[in-house]
Amino acid sequence: MKIKRTRRGARIVEGDVVLSEILAQPGPTHTLFDVLAAGVAALAPGPAVALLGFAGGGIVAPLRAMGHDAPLAAVDLSLQGAALFRELSGAWAGDVSLDEADAVDWLRGSRRRFDMIVEDLSVPSPIGTVKPYASFDPLPGLMRRRLRTGGVVLVNVLPLPGTSWDSMMMRLAMPFERALVVKLDEYENRFLIASDALPDTGAASRAIRRALRAICSYQEKKIRVRTLFR
């Protein structure tokens, strides 16, 4: 993991993958972290949000700029990026609790329920950065059990050679009644949004774009939202 200082803050990089874009002020990163934040700001049915995978908290600057000021509960196997996050963002980030733990163990050991869970886990591998096996089992069912009524999960999904996007998405969405897929024009990543109570695809797309527009993120016109049919 390497840290690269930028004009607006810093970037945490692992190989050719940007794990976090950390800003010294709330605002857009103009990256996929804006879209993650917009998913929370637009679709979380309440204030209780958990972040599985934190790195340097790239989601926080755009999320706070969008007006979401509720506490965030985050967990990561490594707190290497935490000091940098506190240095650059601590003065304005608000209540962000960060635990050093395995995401599965953390959810199993907690009695809390959340309105939204953002799953942004990844691991290095010989073929590049991929999702850990736990993202497919047991996390989908475990996250479902840790949601409040109407709660939503938002998963940052990475490509896996030899596996189709839809097969990955359907496995991740299996415990939920309905799911949407967000495709990003500038990234290989795709986002899965799943819940037992989601707005229709058009309404969800408009709400996410409004959140991006509110912070003038370049990503507003660089996303497409579709229904995941099963």
- What is the mean predicted confidence (pLDDT) over 174-183? 98
CATH number at residue 141: 3.40.50.150
Residues of the domain holding 95: 24-227
Residue 189 covered by a domain: yes
Exposure class string for 126-143: b at 16+ Cβ within 10 A, else e? eeebbbbebbeeebbebb
The number of distinct structural domains making up the chain is 1
Find the mean pLDDT for residues 132-149. 97
Give mean pLDDT, residues 200-217.
Answer: 98
In this prediction, residue 102 carries a pLDDT of 97
**pLDDT tens, position by position, 112-138:** 999 999 999 999 888 888 999 999 999
Residue 230 has pLDDT above 80, yes or no: no
Q: For residue 6, is it within any domain? A: no
Which pLDDT belongs to residue 224?
Answer: 98
Instruction: Outline where 44-102 has alpha helix (H).
Output: 60-65, 82-89
Considering the domain boundaries, does residue 80 fall inside one? yes
Phi/psi of residue 164, each to 5°? -75, 155
Q: H-helix or E-strand containing 150?
A: strand 147-157
Q: Is residue 56 part of a domain?
A: yes
Lookup: tokens for 166 = 């839809």
In a domain, 14, yes or no: no
In a domain, 15, yes or no: no
pLDDT tens-digit series, residues 56-95: 999 999 999 999 999 999 999 999 899 999 999 999 999 9
d(C-alpha 213, C-alpha 17), whole Å: 26
For residue 222, tell me if it sits in a domain: yes
Residue 13 lies in a domain: no
pTM for this model (two decimals):
0.96
pLDDT bracket for residue 1 (50, 70, 90): confident
Are the CB atoms for 110 and 147 separated by under 8 Å?
no
